[in-house]
Structure 1
Amino acid sequence: MTSITKTPISHNESIRSNKKKIIVLGSGPNRIGQGIEFDYCCVHGLLAVKECGYEAIMVNCNPETVSTDFDIADKLYFEPVFWEHIWEIIEHEQPYGVIVQLGGQTALKLAKKLHERGVNIIGTSFDNMDIAEDRGRFSDLLKELEIPYPDYGTAYTTDDAIEVANRVGYPVLVRPSYVIGGQRMRIVINDAELESGVLSLLKHLPGNKILIDHFLDRCQEAEIDAIFDGENFHIMGVMEHIEPAGIHSGDSNAVLPAFNLSPLVITTMEFYAEKLARALNIKGLINIQFAIKDGKVYVIEANPRASRTTPFIAKAYQIPYLNVATRVMLGENKLTDFTFEKKLTGFAIKEPVFSFEKFPGVNKELGPEMKSTGEAIRFIKDLRDPYFRKLFKERSMNLSK
């Protein structure tokens, strides 16, 4: 038997330049909860980084995406978006900073480790991201700002969860923090279902803080995507969901602009959105989701990053919002440096794309845990469009159940 002697690798093919560098973290492989829409965000972010004179470095491991094309970034690391790989790249490249707002939840979840190692996070600080992502801290902030939200409590055990649920009242929404696509979120109606749901959460996400929200049944849902530069606030779009609250936003048809919300409701949403952006000291992108019941606006959650609807709005209005947001994150521009002329005639509908035919054993019933694998855009001239009327009729039937 011939023995093989391994020679230590002494050569590194990645030559570090002297330019000021920005690393953009991608979202990894396409999956339920986040997919190609975040690749759009990364591509336009990379182009903006290059335009601002930095060396743009992309870290992603998905061959299906444009962000991993050889001519998009100045340098591509085709590596898993895991901490061990990213830290080695950071140690080698010594970047000026890292952008986590463009790669969905996968990139955002790495902000804590970057912060702990003293890496410069471009845009919103880690602590302010954490307030938005930690369900308990976020609800405390809403209380402080006097913004309506569903009654809630936090729990680490099943006994705690049952006590909270009985206090806020069933039905309740059970959800963990820092998860992708509403992973393991459940709507439950009694103690037995709650105990089962919490045990499942603790098994798959040990140590995660569990938030128990009173579920606002039979209400409308809407969301806002916006940019804040520390002084100026700009709303990219106000979208109204066709499906009622309780269906994950990624699985809902969203209409841009809103079609059935009163001017008072829209103004209230915009007021709460700006109030939150200022309180969180957002620098860059934020997505805020709302529930509207009996004319009252409640804030459900806020995402301090690009959402899956950011590319949808940018395409519908034909405005390079990701380029603008990246320049704001980098501190190269203020929102007052841009003009925003929205070029949408009629309405745009964000349609979820499902792949149930490839997974025949999957439960097709929609709920708070996302099941779609992508999205498409449908443009309609007016609300008399047959497609829209069909969707709206289905929504009315769901709300009446």
Structure 2
Amino acid sequence: MNPTLNSNESVPSQKKKIIVLGSGPNRIGQGIEFDYCCVHGLLAIKECGFESIMVNCNPETVSTDFDMADKLYFEPVNWEHLWEIIELEKPEGVIVQLGGQTALKLAKRLHAKGVRIIGTSFEDMDIAEDRGRFSDLLKELEIPYPEYGTATDADEAITVANRVGYPVLVRPSYVIGGQRMRIVINDEDVEKAVISLLKHLPGNKILIDHFLDRCQEAEVDAIFDGETFHIMGVMEHIEPAGIHSGDSNAVLPAFNLTPLVIETMKYYSEKIARALKIKGLINIQFAIKNDKVYVIEANPRASRTTPFIAKAYQIPYLNIATKVMLGEAKLADFTLEKKLEGYAIKEPVFSFEKFPGVNKELGPEMKSTGEAIRFIKDLRDPYFRTLYKERSMNLSK
């Protein structure tokens, strides 16, 4: 037998270790922004005296630079590779909040094996990820949400769609970037959407939401340490409802929402964070129609916009959130003074020139591959005025 086949060049140290899961290779629906989150998480882990271990397989990221983590495993972010690493390194825990949906999807396996998940527990993250259970929680908290129902096949989905009322959003649970989500307006389209969904994601629970047409969309990113709740930012989308948040232009702070709507969003966000026992980061997305605030979904992790907010306000939010997850600090330990003159606009970055045959029409399934940031002094800025004019034209159609 060749001895090199059984060799292992990784020698575990005796230090306490924390593993950070990355977001895997660059692909549509999984933003590169999560690399920023992982990098600042690694730095915070080191500052807290732990050995930092990065697991990711993307050579185009800073988190996989040879000198960023104390130890890098350049491996696919899947269970088979992760479990071998855990068995060897025996870490204090694993952070899944910084690597987007790819990392979050491994939480169930980690929980089943008794591996400590740093920050919010799997049970509480699962409530937010399961669309049906999350809607039940919102009902219990008396927070408005679009009417919904669940289905397992096309016939059941059509029945639910007629009950909640067209148009409806057909979507699966536990997916990246709105994969296979569709807005449909009749029974025939529901049937087509469900058959396509089950063909590509067999056994997935189907959620049918009433789609709130012609409404404003906004989102909140926040940190909760179990005691103090802090709103990192309130962003208002420029595009009309129905465009995936990753593909939208978002303005920080909100520019056209009433003070009552903003305070309601903050109030609902804190209620949800406390109910889910969040420890670390949470992103909550809202729809506003006729001044009534509806909660669309909550993501119990860093969102694509967390780095955007941190850069706009010049606050190291990912460093702070990681220390909160580790239990090494409370929000009260930090100065959270926001520095922003005017507004910051999150601009989606698309790569359609690399995929000439792809449909460029935007919808609930994410198509962008990244984002940029633009600062404007006021709302008279020509760039903003052009974007807002396009929004008004879309809403009038």
TM-score class, shorter: over 0.9
**1:123-180: per-residue Cα shift (whole Å, max 9, x none)?**
0000110000000000000001000000000001111101100000010000011100
Query: Residue 277 of structure 1 corresponds to which residue in structure 2?
Result: 273
Q: What is the CA–CA distance in structure 1 between the aligned matches of 2:36 and 2:249, rounded to whole Å?
A: 20
TM-score, structure 1 as length reference: 0.98
Correspondence for 2:305 among 306, 309, 325: 309
Query: Residue 326 of structure 2 corresponds to which residue in structure 1?
Result: 330
* Pairing 1:162-173 to 2, within 5 Å after superposition: 162-173=158-169
Q: What is the CA–CA distance in structure 2 between the aligned matches of 1:315 and 1:289, rounded to whole Å?
A: 20
Contact in 2 for aligned 1:286/1:302 (Cα 8 Å): yes
Any gaps of 5 or more consecutive residues in structure 2?
none
Q: What is the CA–CA distance in structure 2 between the aligned matches of 1:11 and 1:365, rounded to whole Å?
A: 51
**1:309-340: per-residue Cα shift (whole Å, max 9, x none)?**
00000000000000000000000001011111
Contact in 2 for aligned 1:66/1:72 (Cα 8 Å): yes
**1:337-364: per-residue Cα shift (whole Å, max 9, x none)?**
1111111100000000111111111001
SS in 2 for 1:115: helix
Query: Residue 124 of structure 2 corresponds to which residue in structure 1?
Result: 128
Correspondence for 2:259 among 242, 257, 263: 263
Contact in 2 for aligned 1:46/1:73 (Cα 8 Å): yes
Query: Residue 138 of structure 2 corresponds to which residue in structure 1?
Result: 142
Q: What is the CA–CA distance in structure 2 between the aligned matches of 1:344 and 1:183, rounded to whole Å?
A: 34
Q: What is the CA–CA distance in structure 2 between the aligned matches of 1:12 and 1:188, rounded to whole Å?
A: 53
Query: Residue 94 of structure 1 corresponds to which residue in structure 2?
Result: 90
SS in 2 for 1:388: helix
Contact in 2 for aligned 1:26/1:60 (Cα 8 Å): yes
Residues 1:287 and 2:283 aligned together: yes
Contact in 1 for aligned 2:12/2:88 (Cα 8 Å): yes
Contact in 2 for aligned 1:254/1:350 (Cα 8 Å): yes
Q: What is the CA–CA distance in structure 1 between the aligned matches of 2:371 and 2:72, rounded to whole Å?
A: 26
**1:63-97: per-residue Cα shift (whole Å, max 9, x none)?**
00000001110000000001000000000000000
SS in 1 for 2:62: coil
Q: What is the CA–CA distance in structure 2 between the aligned matches of 1:116 and 1:7, rounded to whole Å?
A: 34
Residues 1:186 and 2:182 aligned together: yes
SS in 2 for 1:67: helix
Query: Residue 226 of structure 1 corresponds to which residue in structure 2?
Result: 222
Query: Residue 81 of structure 2 corresponds to which residue in structure 1?
Result: 85
Contact in 1 for aligned 2:55/2:74 (Cα 8 Å): yes
Query: Residue 241 of structure 1 corresponds to which residue in structure 2?
Result: 237
Query: Residue 7 of structure 2 corresponds to which residue in structure 1?
Result: 11
SS in 1 for 2:336: coil
TM-score, structure 2 as length reference: 0.99
SS in 2 for 1:9: helix
Paired amino acid for 1:41: C
Query: Residue 344 of structure 1 corresponds to which residue in structure 2?
Result: 340
Paired amino acid for 1:22: I
SS in 1 for 2:12: coil
Displacement after TM superposition at 1:380 (Å): 0.3
Correspondence for 2:150 among 154, 157, 160: 154
Query: Residue 371 of structure 1 corresponds to which residue in structure 2?
Result: 367
Contact in 2 for aligned 1:49/1:326 (Cα 8 Å): yes
Root mean square deviation, CA, Å: 0.7
Contact in 2 for aligned 1:24/1:99 (Cα 8 Å): yes
Q: What is the CA–CA distance in structure 2 between the aligned matches of 1:287 and 1:198, rounded to whole Å?
A: 27
Residues 1:75 and 2:71 aligned together: yes
Q: What is the CA–CA distance in structure 1 between the aligned matches of 2:168 and 2:6, rounded to whole Å?
A: 57
Q: What is the CA–CA distance in structure 2 between the aligned matches of 1:79 and 1:340, rounded to whole Å?
A: 36
Q: What is the CA–CA distance in structure 2 between the aligned matches of 1:377 and 1:116, rounded to whole Å?
A: 40
Paired amino acid for 1:398: N
Paired amino acid for 1:330: L
Paired amino acid for 2:306: T
Query: Residue 50 of structure 1 corresponds to which residue in structure 2?
Result: 46
Displacement after TM superposition at 1:8 (Å): 5.8
Q: What is the CA–CA distance in structure 2 between the aligned matches of 1:73 and 1:252, rounded to whole Å?
A: 32
Displacement after TM superposition at 1:11 (Å): 2.8
Q: What is the CA–CA distance in structure 2 between the aligned matches of 1:127 and 1:32, rounded to whole Å?
A: 28
SS in 2 for 1:244: coil
Q: What is the CA–CA distance in structure 1 between the aligned matches of 2:284 and 2:304, rounded to whole Å?
A: 12
Q: What is the CA–CA distance in structure 2 between the aligned matches of 1:339 and 1:244, rounded to whole Å?
A: 35
Contact in 2 for aligned 1:29/1:35 (Cα 8 Å): no
Paired amino acid for 2:322: T
Contact in 2 for aligned 1:312/1:350 (Cα 8 Å): yes
Contact in 1 for aligned 2:344/2:376 (Cα 8 Å): yes
Q: What is the CA–CA distance in structure 1 between the aligned matches of 2:4 and 2:339, rounded to whole Å?
A: 58
SS in 1 for 2:63: coil
SS in 1 for 2:64: coil
Q: What is the CA–CA distance in structure 1 between the aligned matches of 2:260 and 2:4, rounded to whole Å?
A: 68
Displacement after TM superposition at 1:7 (Å): 4.1
Contact in 2 for aligned 1:219/1:291 (Cα 8 Å): yes
Paired amino acid for 1:154: T
Paired amino acid for 2:221: D
**1:162-221: per-residue Cα shift (whole Å, max 9, x none)?**
110000001000001110000000000000000000001111111111100000000000
Contact in 1 for aligned 2:32/2:369 (Cα 8 Å): no
Q: What is the CA–CA distance in structure 1 between the aligned matches of 2:253 and 2:293, rounded to whole Å?
A: 17
Could you tell me the percent identity over the aligned residues? Answer: 86
